[in-house]
Structures are given as C-alpha cells and as structure tokens.
Amino acid sequence: MILGTMATDRRTFLAGAAALAAPAQSAEPDWAKIRQEFPWNERQLFMNPAGWHPMRRAAIAAMQRYLEYKLLGPGDGRERAASGMQEEARQGFARLINAQPSEVAFVQSTLMGENITNMALGIVPGGPWNVVTDELHYESAIYMYRSMQRQGLDVRVVKMRDWHVPVEDVARVVDKKTRLVACSLVSFLNGVRADAKALSDLAHAHGAFLYTDVIQAAGAVPIDVKALGIDFCACSGYKFLMGDRGLGFLYVRQDLQGRVAKRFQYGDRQFSNPRYHMFPHDPPGERPCSFQQRDGAGAHYEVGNIANVVAAGHAENLRFIHELGVDRIQARVKPMVEKLRRELPVLGYPGMTPAGTPTPISSFVVEKPAELAAKMKRAGIDVKVQWNQMRVSVSVYHAMADIDRFLNAASSFSAPSLGE
C-alpha cells in the first residue's frame, strides 16, 4: 500500500541525497540482508539480471514516495519528492562514471543516447563520415547502423575473433573519415569487456570520437570515462543499476557540448525563466518571449519531461551502489562467475566468454535451447537461452547455493564441443 510506506521510509528518503556523496562503508556488507531486498529471487532463481534486474524493496519505496506526493500533495515532507529526485539521480550516475553532473543528460533509453550521439555529431546517411562498430555491439545499435547504411552511410562492422574484437582489427578500418567508433563496453552477448582506452586512443589519433554503450557495465564493473578517454556513453537504468525502464543517462564530454556535438532538438528542459513581452506591463523585448539558456548536457540534449517515478528509483539505487562500492560488488560475484565458467563447460556447455573477463556475464553454447529452456522453467529458474546460446549473469542478491542449484539443473543437458 502506498500510504503505509510513508512513515517507515522517511528517514532513508531524507538521507538519500547526502548518502550519494558519502564514501563506501568499510565493513563487509550483510549479503544475506541485501538478498532479502530482492524477494523475486526467493520465488524464482533469477539468473538474468543482464536482461533486467529485479528491483529492491527500498527502490520501490522511493518510487512510492513520489506517488504519495502525486496522490496527497504537499505536506509532511512529501514535496521533497516532487521532482522524483532527478538531480540526485544525475549526480549519482555522474559520480559512478567519474564525470561531472553537467556532463550527464537524461535520455529515454540507451539506444536513444546512441542516436543522439550520432545526430549531434552530424552522422547522417550520405554524409562525408564513416562509423566503425563491431559484431559484439548491441543488436539494436547494429540495426540502427545497418538501416543508415542502406540509406548511404559508410558503416564498417568489425568481426569478432575468439569471442572478442581485437583492437588491431578495428585499427585496420579506422581512417581520417571515421567520425565515430561505437562499441559496448561490456557485450550483452557474452560479457566480454572492450579495451576502451585503446579504442579511444585509436579514434582520437584519427580525429574521431568513442561512444560506448555501458548498460551491461554500469553498477557491475568500474567505469572511469576520463581515464578511458570515452567521449560519449549511455545506459538505461534497468540492468545492473537495478531500476526500471524508461529513463537512462547520456554522458557527453564537457568540451564537446554544443560545439562538436551540436544541439539538434529543442525543448523546455534547455531554458529557464522565460519572460513575455506582449502583455500589459511586460518588459520590452523580442515578442512573444525571451529565454535564459541553461548550461550542461541536460540543456543541450534533453527536450521534455522525464519519468519522475523512475528517477526516484534510480536515485535510491545509485545511493545503494555507492554505499556498497562497485569494486566490492565485483568481488562479491567473482567466485560465483568463476565457478560457472569452470563447471558449465565440464557439463558440456562450451564457453563463449574469454577467460579472465572481469564482468558478471558469461555465455555458453547450447545444442537444444528449447529443451534446456523448458527444463530451467520446470526447475524454477529464469535464465536467457536463445540462439543456441545460454547467457548466465550474477548480481548482489545471489549466493553460491544459487550457483549450485543452477548447475544441478543444467547437468542433465549437454552441448556439442565447438569442433563438432
């Protein structure tokens, strides 16, 4: 019930903004207590947070506090929730990737962020530029580039080798007309992490820019856009940021905003203090009204309203992620990931993720995907089985007992070796 959460969660809510700036706690987290925050996993073993992440009780409560304001109006501290904690969410994401809040804009989705990047850079079919991407990039991004290619854009898609895309292969197709190198920092297909620093060095040496899709990385692995030389990146909040769909983030390097990366769409999130000059007693000025331009990525690339209720959940989840620390999240899931990668091939599922990949995502070859999917469903396990592949992902709500249960369910199936 919405009203029932109000008194219980008020202190957590009021402390949320300050906690975004607080350092991670030194004590080891109570992982069993954290597990209780994700009741979905108690009802079904959910091994697909790389598809979408179950939500925490505290995040749902934060979203309910916004809805309480919409239901009851101001009073009793509710007005603090009026904006859906937008700026707390923006600040939390900026800190997560080592950016300034002025470098972060809200977008509808990851792919919207990549579309905006292309348009802002003037990448259009028939233009003078080419775009370089690779086979392990997100499928909808590949669809976007192939669609633009059919309309006349020069698109170069680098093939993978041994389950990754070597930088030297990318280097062979980048030239002085390359405008953008686009990749997934962590591939949704097999969890491999791109060498973003090498790719940014390569792009910058040719006068190009680097875009990375970070939806499978943010909240799961450390990201430092400054150290990696990333010019643009985007993600939604419903995977390892543990939130809901419909709202994400776009990072645009400060010195590129409005100059190299042009504004191409316009709306009311880009100005403040409109003044009218056409009614009695109005000050003189250009009719009908004048505007004060805002600064920052939001003022260049946001257009209209955002989903406040989703922003409220994002703000709470980012507070939680910062409290835990991404390094500690990564350390928590590492032994579970390693066990999956070690034992599933023994059970007959050849691995598709390079050894040592420091991400929570692993993929394996499956001979009979429909049968395996049905088996997992009967066992009360949700895992992605598609295209003769199985992708298994791990997050903070998992424990080693979950991995054992999953391996037991998979043990009665086998996949062919890659040589067959």
| CATH at 391 | 3.90.1150.10
Q: Are residues 315 and 330 in the same domain?
A: no
Which residue in this structure is represented by tokens 């030297």? 168
- The amino acid at 255: D
Q: Are residues 101 and 154 in the same domain?
A: yes
DSSP strand pairing (248-252 vs 232-236): antiparallel
Q: Are residues 174 and 262 in the same domain?
A: yes
* Contact (CB, 8 A) for 230 and 200: yes
381 occurs within a structural domain: yes
Q: Are residues 299 and 395 in the same domain?
A: no
374 occurs within a structural domain: yes
Q: Are residues 337 and 205 in the same domain?
A: no
CA angle at 115 for the pair 53 and 150, rounded to the nearest 5°: 115
* Domain count across the chain: 2
214 occurs within a structural domain: yes
42 occurs within a structural domain: no
Q: How far apart are the first and last CA of the chain?
A: 56
User: Among residues 320, 338, 354, which one ends one of the domains?
Assistant: 320
Q: Are residues 176 and 255 in the same domain?
A: yes
* Contact (CB, 8 A) for 206 and 175: yes
Q: How far apart are CA 344 and CA 342, in angstroms?
A: 6
Q: Are residues 355 and 295 in the same domain?
A: no
Q: Are residues 305 and 350 in the same domain?
A: no
Q: How far apart are CA 318 and CA 160, in angstroms?
A: 33
User: Among residues 320, 340, 357, which one ends one of the domains?
Assistant: 320
171 occurs within a structural domain: yes
> pLDDT truncated to tens, each residue of the chain (420 aa)?
333 443 434 444 444 444 444 444 568 899 999 999 999 988 999 999 999 999 999 999 999 999 999 999 998 888 888 888 999 999 999 999 999 999 999 999 999 999 999 999 999 999 999 999 999 999 999 999 999 999 999 999 999 999 999 999 999 999 999 999 999 999 999 999 999 999 999 999 999 999 999 999 999 999 999 999 999 999 999 999 999 999 999 999 999 999 999 999 998 888 888 899 999 999 999 999 999 888 999 999 999 899 999 999 999 999 999 999 999 999 999 999 999 999 999 999 999 999 999 999 999 999 999 999 999 999 999 999 999 999 999 999 999 999 999 999 999 755 444 443
User: Among residues 285, 320, 355, which one ends one of the domains?
Assistant: 320
118 occurs within a structural domain: yes
Structure tokens at 28: 């080891």
212 occurs within a structural domain: yes
| CATH at 242 | 3.40.640.10
Domain that holds residue 230: 86-320
Nearest to 254 by CA among 414, 409, 100, 61: 100
Longest distance between any two alpha carbons in the chain, whole Å:
83
Q: Are residues 199 and 97 in the same domain?
A: yes
Which residue in this structure is represented by tokens 């991670």? 24
Q: Are residues 245 and 101 in the same domain?
A: yes
113 occurs within a structural domain: yes
Q: Are residues 171 and 231 in the same domain?
A: yes
Q: Are residues 210 and 355 in the same domain?
A: no
Residue 141: alpha-carbon gap to chain centroid: 14
